[in-house]
Amino acid sequence: MVDLERMFSSEEKSQITAAVQLAEATTSAEIVPAVAEASGRYDRGEDTFGFWLAAAFAASMWWFWPHRTDTGAWGEGSPWIAVIVLIVGMMLVYILGAVIASRTSWLRRLLTPESHMEDEVAGRARQVFFDRRVHHTKDGSGLLIYLSMEERMAFVCADQAVTAALGDEGLNELRTLLVSMAKDAGPTDALCAVIAEAGRRLAAPLPRATSDQNELADALVLLPAP
């Protein structure tokens, strides 16, 4: 699992905060950037790897353990020894496999359906949208730019005024830009670029008024895995 505190230096955090402030200088939208270590637990991937490792162990036991002879004996010992070894061994190997998968990001992603990860990212983003009160601005102008490192996916949540200004297509374009730039340039540059693009697109439909007040913090929000 990625360590977000090490990933984002104090300079990079300041850079993202400055990007938010610059964007909000031209629009009444309240932009909140957030990065999560992961959006879901993904037990299914861990269970899948543990199951297949246990199955491989069982197949190996069947292949290498001495088979019954014509006299009914199992090698030189009781047949129950093989049964006990098989059951205990499969349990231990299953647990080992689940632990390995839980600590190996690429393996967990490989064994988790992409649609499941997309659902988890969208669900966590919506949760952050409400928990961080991005939905609670005076004019309904909150915008959450959310990046999830484990899944390498992003999501953009917007309140009523921003959704009306950008539309679903515009929000999807911001998400696509965030994912592509995070892959090519890294999360800091990606967040700064998408924040700037959001500010540019919202400046005309949601201009900043002279009486506008900053309702939400401009700092980058770092979220641990669930």
Specify whether 96 is located in the same domain as 203: no
Specify whether 130 is located in the same domain as 31: yes
Specify whether 134 is located in the same domain as 205: yes
Q: Which residues of the chain are under the pLDDT cut of 70?
A: 1, 43, 65-79, 82, 106
Pick the last residue of a domain from 58, 77, 111: 111
> What was the pLDDT predicted at 172?
96
> What was the pLDDT predicted at 80?
73
Q: Would you state the structure tokens that stand for residue 99, as one six-digit string? A: 């632990």
> What was the pLDDT predicted at 100?
81
Pick the last residue of a domain from 86, 111, 136: 111
> What was the pLDDT predicted at 79?
65
> What was the pLDDT predicted at 147?
97
> What was the pLDDT predicted at 113?
83
> What was the pLDDT predicted at 78?
60
In the chain, the largest separation of any two C-alpha atoms, in whole Å, equals 95
Specify whether 101 is located in the same domain as 171: no
Pick the last residue of a domain from 82, 111, 140: 111
Specify whether 36 is located in the same domain as 61: no
Specify whether 127 is located in the same domain as 209: yes
Return the CATH number at 17: 3.10.310.50
> What was the pLDDT predicted at 67?
56
Specify whether 73 is located in the same domain as 153: no
Specify whether 54 is located in the same domain as 119: no
Which helix (H) or strand (E) element contains residue 210?
Answer: none
> What was the pLDDT predicted at 74?
46
Domains contained in the chain, number: 2
Q: Would you state the structure tokens that stand for residue 4, as one six-digit string? A: 């977000």
> What was the pLDDT predicted at 155?
97
> What was the pLDDT predicted at 154?
97
Separation CA 48–CA 35 (nearest Å):
27
Separation CA 85–CA 100 (nearest Å):
22
Q: Using an 8 Å Cβ cutoff, are 153 and 118 in contact?
A: yes
